[in-house]
Amino acid sequence: MSEIELEKKRVFSAIQPSGMLTLGNYLGALKNWKDMQNDYDCLFSVADLHAITVRQEPAKLRQQVYTTAALLLAIGLQPQESIIFIQSHVSAHSQLAWLLSCYTQFGELSRMTQFKDKSQKHADNVNAGLFSYPSLMAADILLYHSDLVPVGADQKQHIEITRDIATRFNNIYGDVFTIPEPYIRKIGARVMSLQEPTKKMSKSDENVNAWVAILDSPEDIMRKFKRAMTDSDSNVCVGEGRDGVNNLIGIYSAITHRTADQVAAEFEGKGYGDFKKAVGEAVVEELRPVREKYEYYIKDKKELEAIYKIGAEKAEKIANRTLGKAMKKIGFVI
């Protein structure tokens, strides 16, 4: 590794293999990951350990891990530039998670918004892992001395508790962990439902027209955008209470790199029909190479496995050094 590379800030991010990834995942996170590779020292992980807080069918989970790993490569993550691996393949994640859980307060965990939300959605399975997952997430981040963690604005709480845990540990044992900062990109950071634009786009939405999957066909993408919710005003511009149009402008801006004012000028005098068609076409062309590359990687399991195994080996070297230092500080016999 060159001196220039050593000067780069380190970025860690992970995504759960919880089913088909959406346009919201792509614009809010994955596209940013691709763009960050040149400027940062990056590690990206398929967070399969986090996925089992909800009951999973073994065969389906296994396939979703393959699908997510293939998608990470399809969006343009380069194993020559970044470390790409599966979380459970680096045992230090589970080990450090237990250590950090002993430095995480019950009150902190009980205040986590995601725990409250998932407890309501899965009332028949409110397990200890669902409650203590922030300790595992903190381990994910802190193992690699991450400087920045790309998150959506609604996930900032996750980084805050990681910072609190790391600071508490460092105050007791000295400078062990790097205190991470959230990296939040304003444009495209939060993509809303196409049918209920006050809600975040989610693949769990029962209305299939509310969300766009990264691997949707061009025909399905166009159909969903043509049916997207707008309002009675035909002007294409950002405005208070115009959630549907604001959402479409945000999507179009994130893909075309145009400001909201530039988008409004482009469609001045045109109706929503023209605008929805343009947004749909932009999304189709943005995702076309992703779908093509995905098909290549998902059909070549040997190459896919080779990439994430090499990534795990690289990640493990970094993670084990951090884990060993933390254990030694606590007083374990190493």
Catalytic residue among 200, 226, 277, 314: 200
Which of the residues 31, 60, 116, 118 is marked catalytic? 118
End-to-end CA gap in the chain = 28
Mention every residue, 6+ apart, whose C-beta is less than 8 A from residue 23: 191, 201, 211, 212, 213, 214, 251, 283, 287
Which residues, at least 6 apart from 171, have a Cβ–Cβ distance to it below 8 Å? none
Name the pairing type of β-strands 148-150 and 181-183: parallel
- Pick from 185, 188, 141, 186: nearest CA to 160: 141
Q: Which residues pair with 10 in a beta bridge?
A: 41
Q: In what order do the strands lie in the sheet with 83-86?
A: 83-86, 41-46, 10-15, 148-150, 181-183
Q: Is 203 a catalytic residue?
A: yes
Q: Is 325 a catalytic residue?
A: no
The sign of the dihedral angle between the CA atoms of 262, 264, 265, 267 is positive
Which listed residue (8, 9, 203, 325) is catalytic?
203
Contact 280, 248 (CB under 8 A): no
Tell me the three state secondary structure of residue 219: helix
- Please give the DSSP secondary-structure letter assigned to residue 221: H
CA gap 159, 50 in Å, rounded? 16
* Known active-site residue 200: yes
CA distance 299 to 258: 36
Annotated catalytic residues are 118, 200, 203
